[in-house]
Structure 1
């Protein structure tokens, strides 16, 4: 039985998706993503901290400092993690997600033990999912396919 191929080496049986955005669009998105996510994270942290109370100058400052810290760590993990092997790569993203979640959760007034426990669950879950993803997307020699 004959099977259609995509014509792209290494992509037999799969059709390649067209790249609808140019290189400039991808570059702009890569630079804007940490800023947008950081601002959302900072707003979320400030909202958790004020707990429905009035917006104050200290609350706004807390939100911006949280956003800057989140952006800096996100940029660092995005630069460092792809250079790592699959296990540390997954653990780096898991640790980032766990710490980010734990900090947001701690701003709600929850206990330190509950914040740490929940952030460990988030970190372990993200690490496990990403390890599976990275493990299934490499060849037998351990090189990333895509």
Structure 2
């Protein structure tokens, strides 16, 4: 007797779409953790500068820089699926390049060198994310 190719009564499990208005945990957790780590690293760079004292200005700069990165990452994460892969890769390149250029600029280096460092990281992130999006397209 031949075996049937499909089993009767067997249904594929369907994923239910997420309810409107509810964000997945990762959509909020990843930007928050990224902002916290970025703010702490900014504080570390600022504390290892010429004077090791923590001042109010250094603390505020660390908190604001982490907050700005978290808000930008959250905002970009919300709109990235509506963008084509080229624009999405460029967005990640700008976000990563700007963040790394800022971190390098607070070490006391020149603005031109910080811009080149940020542009290098941005171009690297653009190429990497474009390749990732291109090869993992549905």
How many residues align structurally?
115
User: What does residue 39 of structure 2 align with?
Assistant: 42
User: What does residue 3 of structure 2 align with?
Assistant: none
Distance 2:124 2:76 in 1: 18
Q: Runs of 4 or more off by more than 2 Å in structure 1?
A: 26-30, 49-52
Question: Does the 8 Å contact 1:87/1:131 carry over to 2?
Answer: yes
The CA deviation at 1:125 is 0.8
Higher RCO (CA < 8 A, seq sep 6+) = 2
The CA deviation at 1:37 is 1.2
Task: Name the Cα RMSD after superposition.
Answer: 1.7
| TM-score (normalised: structure 1) | 0.72
1:47-97 deviations in whole A, cap 9, x for unaligned?
Answer: 222335111222211111111111111111111222110111100001100
The CA deviation at 1:29 is 3.3
User: What does residue 87 of structure 1 align with?
Assistant: 86
Distance 2:112 2:60 in 1: 27
1:19-46 deviations in whole A, cap 9, x for unaligned?
Answer: xxxx8xx933332221121111111112
Matching of residue 51 in structure 1 with residue 48 in structure 2: yes
User: What does residue 97 of structure 1 align with?
Assistant: 96
Question: Does the 8 Å contact 1:81/1:93 carry over to 2?
Answer: no
Which SS does the other structure have where 1:108 is aligned? coil
Distance 2:101 2:64 in 1: 17
User: What does residue 29 of structure 1 align with?
Assistant: 26
Distance 1:106 1:73 in 2: 19
